[in-house]
Amino acid sequence: MVTTSVRRHLLELRAALRVVAAVLVTLLLVTVPAGRPRPERPATPVAGARSLVVLVHGFGAGPGCFDAMLPALGGPGVAVVTHRYSWTTRVGELGEQLADEVTDLARRSGARSVTLVGHSLGGVVVASSLPRLDGLVSRVVTVAAPLRGTRWARLFPVGAVRDLRVGSPALQALAAAPRPRAPWTAVASRADTIVAVESATPEAAEAVVVDGVGHCGLLRDADVIARTAALARHTSRRSARTSARVVLPARPVPAIPALSLVA
């Protein structure tokens, strides 16, 4: 029993060191100019789109984290937009910024449906935006979002990450907010060492639980991608909301750099 306890603590320490290393590398990349500029992606055609899909990345990541998912989400009449934000800003303000952008996109496009997809911290930002978007958003999908907090937030209590601490005022406000009318699906993984299943699956959402896939691996998992794409295509407000959990089969994914492991 002692050996098991020591081993568990060593595993937790190793995971903590990986998160700290990821944060330090993220800060370094922010402050040091890149040697080679990354080519810009073609602008997403928003005007005239019948459907909008807005993607919100997590902390320490960027729109590129959705690269594996993009081909499945696009299609005729569908405009896929990636929303950027600064993690140094608090969650409440980030939610307001997202709500303003989504409102503007919907006005310019005249789209009949709007789907929000948020990963990790991005999912918390999505949840924060919902009170201002009630009646406009047709579907919500959050993936590994620490809606009830994550213990790792204590390692770097700055900006939006500070709001991810368990029991923070920002998360309490989200929990007390009225239940959104739009159908909400929350994806989580039992193998996620950053965000626990219980934190990522609020009562207001249908829970989809995955085995054997890590925190960022969820965005590259074939089953999760297929389910997210199907949800984005079927955005009817009449979709039934249930607290039942759907368990998807495990689909192991290749290892990724520690930089992508932060929430």
105 domain residue, yes or no? yes
Predicted confidence at residue 140, as pLDDT, reads 98
CB 56 within 8 A of CB 123: yes
Q: What CATH number corresponds to the domain at position 87?
A: 3.40.50.1820
Tokens of 50: 């019948």
Classify the phi-psi angles of 43: left when phi > 0, otherwise alpha if psi is within -120 to 50, otherwise beta.
beta
* SS3 assignment, position 102: helix
260 domain residue, yes or no? no
Q: Which of 194, 164, 200 is nearest to 91 (CA)?
A: 164
Tokens of 81: 């937009």
- For residues 100 and 119, state if they share a domain: yes
- For residues 115 and 201, state if they share a domain: yes
Look up the domain containing 202 and give its range.
45-253
- Tell me the pTM: 0.78
With a cut of 60, say whether residue 154 has pLDDT above it: yes
How far is 221 from 216, CA to CA, in rounded Å?
A: 9
Over the stretch 181-208, which tens digit does the pLDDT of each residue have?
999 999 999 999 999 999 999 999 999 9
On average, the pLDDT of the chain sits at: 82
Over the stretch 220-248, which tens digit does the pLDDT of each residue have?
999 999 999 999 987 644 443 444 455 55
- For residues 190 and 91, state if they share a domain: yes
CA angle 55, 52, 86 (to 5 degrees): 30
Domain count, the chain: 2
- For residues 29 and 51, state if they share a domain: no
- For residues 23 and 122, state if they share a domain: no
- Torsion angle of alpha carbons 88, 93, 96, 100, nearest 10°? -50
CB 197 within 8 A of CB 209: yes
Burial class of residue 176 (count of CB atoms within 10 Å of its CB; 0-12, 13-18, 19+): exposed
- For residues 129 and 159, state if they share a domain: yes
Secondary element (H or E) of residue 227: helix 222-233
81 domain residue, yes or no? yes
How far is 88 from 12, CA to CA, in rounded Å?
A: 26
Reported as a pLDDT band with limits 50, 70 and 90, residue 152 is very high
